[in-house]
Amino acid sequence: MKNKIKHVLFLSVILFSVASCIDDKGNYDYTEIEDAIVEIQEVKENGGKISRDRYAELSFNPEIQYQAGSSVDDYNFEWSLYTQQSQKDDDDAYIPKKVIGDQPQLSYRLIDEPDKYYVVLKVTHKKMGSCTDYKFELNINSVVGWIIYDEVASGDGDFQIIRDREIVPELSSIQTGIVRNYFSTANGGKKLQGGKFLGRRNMNNRYDHLYLFKEDGMYKMKAGTYEVITEDYSTLFSTQPAKNAPMALYYPSPMYGQVEVFVNNNEMYTIRWNMLGQEDKYTTPIGAFGTAYKVNPFIAPVPVTGNTVRAVLYNDISNARGQFITINSSGAAGFPRTPDGKFNTGAINMNESMQLKLEYLGQGRDGITCALFKDELNAGKFSLYTADFRDVSKPLALEIYDLGDLQDIDDAKYFTFGTRGDVLFYATTSKVYSYVFDGAVTELLSTPGEEIVSMKLYTHSANEDYSGRMLFVATYDGSVGKVYKIKFNELNGQLDGEIEEYTGFGRIIDMMNKE
């Protein structure tokens, strides 16, 4: 008896499903009904799943086989879009599907938030009421890639984003190229002004932010959409600083420990994200007895796991001897000393006959800290100091390298270190060099007629093939900006392939990779 009931219910469901696609016209002289057959080649080739970037055009011209004796004029068409996870609006009502087209072909600009969606094309016979629902998955992605902040002569700035499969491995062929003026696209034509450097916070969906810092302020944006959240710099702090002067931001990937470090007005702040109830605000600068410690405007990441150092800073502003300062996994400051090492990390200038001033601080191979100094008592002669602060209990002063004889080093303006080998990259206004520690110097790039205005190392948490193996160099010739992508051997710093060029920018102020 139970089986019979089940069969009756099942038959009822089938009859209801068929009836739901057929309008009863009152004419009971039935003929066999055939639904239209729909196919989209790209959807078929990708297993029913496709991907597009936000603001891209979603365009399709489906192959549709209509009922015998029918044509396109005999049908109604409806393209609709809805999220794979049900969402509610501010009134706690479920958000209905969004109709995005009423023609056989679709051309729709994806203004919707990055998320996972379903797209449905419903083809309905006007007279018979028979219908076909063609459904597939659509991922609307945040635009990621090599972000460039550039400005034109008027001072208006915007984001240009370089995208290829070496920068963003998962891109499809239609997603590669340069996305132009993306900030203004996302913000109703608004332009940026006065940007100084880029930064990123990616704690979770709630605290996923992109920053453009200015001399005394910021633009805070949603990292997924690039839409401005606020331009109020005071919202970063629970206790307001004496002066607004952002200088450096380091937020490590969660796999490296969740401590954020920020430098404002030569004072350092931390947020310990793994502490329960932590808010996205800096409290007071790190210091002692009511006085904040001073630091130079650099943060060297230490990407390692465990209860150890997360970042390294340096102070020769309030301490003439010069000292390294570490930030541990609790967000607290440490002052490592190595009096028995090759140098003392707590007093670089060991006596009055030394006057080394920090020129640049960065991360080297495997989290080693690298510091470039100029000797102010010796015609600004360069030297390189390396130290290992990864184990908070065992700081190591490693090596000192005399850089005084390096080609054009005295004219260098931009520096960065390899993260997979012992290599220093430095650039003058027209040349880029690599230097293997205590080894050879190689000229990588010459840009006659173009002034080098920025140089940055490419890093990516999941791109093992190219992270730490590409260098981006920006130039400006007085009217047009250009970017060179340089692939290099991580061990010897020499070229590894052809240099690629991207052009059509304004004057480039800063660059970074956005995952």
Last residue of a domain, one of 141, 176, 210: 141
Output the six-digit token pair for 452. 């080098």
Do 361 and 334 share a structural domain? yes
Give CA–CA dist 374/383, Å, rounded: 7
Q: Does residue 26 carry a pLDDT above 60? A: no
Q: Which of the pair, 201 or 153, is modelled with greater confidence?
A: 153
Q: Is residue 257 part of a domain?
A: no
Do 124 and 76 share a structural domain? yes
Q: How many CB atoms lie within 10 A of CB 158?
A: 22
- DSSP, collapsed to helix, strand or coil, labels residue 136 as strand
Confidence of residue 172 (pLDDT cuts 50, 70, 90): confident
Which of 254, 247, 251, 391 lies closest to 326 in space, CA to CA?
391
> Residue 393, exposed/middle/buried by CB under 10 A (0-12, 13-18, 19+)?
exposed
141-146-147-148 Cα dihedral, nearest 10 degrees: -150
Q: Is residue 161 part of a domain?
A: no
Residue 304 sits at the vertex; the CA angle it makes with 330 and 316, to the nearest 5 degrees, is 65
Mean pLDDT of 59-76: 95
Do 496 and 452 share a structural domain? yes
Give CA–CA dist 100/112, Å, rounded: 11
User: Tens of pLDDT along 370-418?
Assistant: 999 999 999 999 999 999 999 888 999 999 999 999 999 999 999 999 9
- For residues 118 and 82, is the Cβ–Cβ distance under 8 A? yes
Q: Is residue 24 part of a domain?
A: no
- For residues 190 and 181, is the Cβ–Cβ distance under 8 A? no
The predicted structure's pLDDT at residue 86: 77
Pairing outcome for strands 49-53 and 267-272: unpaired
Do 386 and 354 share a structural domain? yes
Do 346 and 398 share a structural domain? yes
Alpha helices in 33-84 (DSSP H): 41-45
Which conformational region is residue 260 in: left (phi greater than 0), alpha (psi within -120 to 50 degrees), or beta?
Answer: beta
Mean pLDDT estimate for the chain: 90
Which of 430, 385, 386, 375 lies closest to 407 in space, CA to CA?
430
Question: What residues does 302 pair with on adjacent strands?
Answer: none
The predicted structure's pLDDT at residue 344: 97
Pairing outcome for strands 300-301 and 309-315: antiparallel
Do 118 and 69 share a structural domain? yes
Q: Is residue 348 part of a domain?
A: yes
Q: Does residue 205 carry a pLDDT above 70? A: no
Residue span of the structural domain in which 342 resides: 320-405
User: Tens of pLDDT along 245-273?
Assistant: 999 999 875 544 578 999 999 999 999 88
Q: Which of 48-51's residues contact partners 24+ apart within 8 Å by CB, and which partners?
A: 48/136, 48/137, 49/136, 49/137, 49/138, 49/139, 50/136, 50/137, 50/138, 50/139, 51/138, 51/139, 51/141, 51/172, 51/175
Instruction: Identify the CATH number of the domain in which residue 63 sits.
Output: 2.60.40.10
Q: Is residue 77 part of a domain?
A: yes
Last residue of a domain, one of 379, 405, 431: 405
User: Tens of pLDDT along 354-367?
Assistant: 899 999 999 999 99
Output the six-digit token pair for 139. 């991922």
Q: Does residue 71 carry a pLDDT above 50? A: yes
Do 128 and 74 share a structural domain? yes
Do 398 and 447 share a structural domain? no
Give CA–CA dist 514/226, Å, rounded: 12
Give CA–CA dist 115/72, Å, rounded: 33
- For residues 394 and 416, is the Cβ–Cβ distance under 8 A? no
Output the six-digit token pair for 477. 């010739």
With a CB cutoff of 8 Å and minimum separation 6, the contacts of 29 are none
Q: Is residue 130 part of a domain?
A: yes
Q: Whats the size of the chain, residue-wise?
A: 515
Which of 472, 471, 360 lies closest to 420 in space, CA to CA?
471
The predicted structure's pLDDT at residue 94: 67
| Greatest pairwise CA separation for the chain in angstroms | 108
Confidence of residue 17 (pLDDT cuts 50, 70, 90): very low
Q: How many CB atoms lie within 10 A of CB 249?
A: 21
The predicted structure's pLDDT at residue 88: 65
Q: How many CB atoms lie within 10 A of CB 439?
A: 13
DSSP state of 14: H
φ, ψ (nearest 5 deg) of residue 411: -100, 5
- DSSP, collapsed to helix, strand or coil, labels residue 192 as strand
The predicted structure's pLDDT at residue 15: 33
pTM: 0.86
Overall number of domains in the chain = 3
Give CA–CA dist 306/394, Å, rounded: 14
- For residues 129 and 104, is the Cβ–Cβ distance under 8 A? no
- For residues 434 and 444, is the Cβ–Cβ distance under 8 A? yes
Give CA–CA dist 98/80, Å, rounded: 5
User: Tens of pLDDT along 139-165?
Assistant: 999 999 999 999 999 999 999 999 999
Q: Does residue 57 carry a pLDDT above 90? A: yes
Last residue of a domain, one of 373, 405, 437: 405
Question: 374 to each of 299, 356, 381, 437, how far by Cα in Å?
Answer: 18, 5, 5, 17
Do 391 and 332 share a structural domain? yes
Do 413 and 393 share a structural domain? no
- For residues 416 and 362, is the Cβ–Cβ distance under 8 A? yes
Do 414 and 392 share a structural domain? no
Q: Is residue 286 part of a domain?
A: no
Confidence of residue 6 (pLDDT cuts 50, 70, 90): very low
Pairing outcome for strands 49-53 and 195-202: unpaired
Question: What residues does 397 pair with on adjacent strands?
Answer: 387
Do 413 and 503 share a structural domain? yes
Question: 319 to each of 289, 323, 421, how far by Cα in Å?
Answer: 17, 7, 31
Which of 223, 210, 217 lies closest to 237 in space, CA to CA?
217
Give CA–CA dist 44/59, Å, rounded: 15
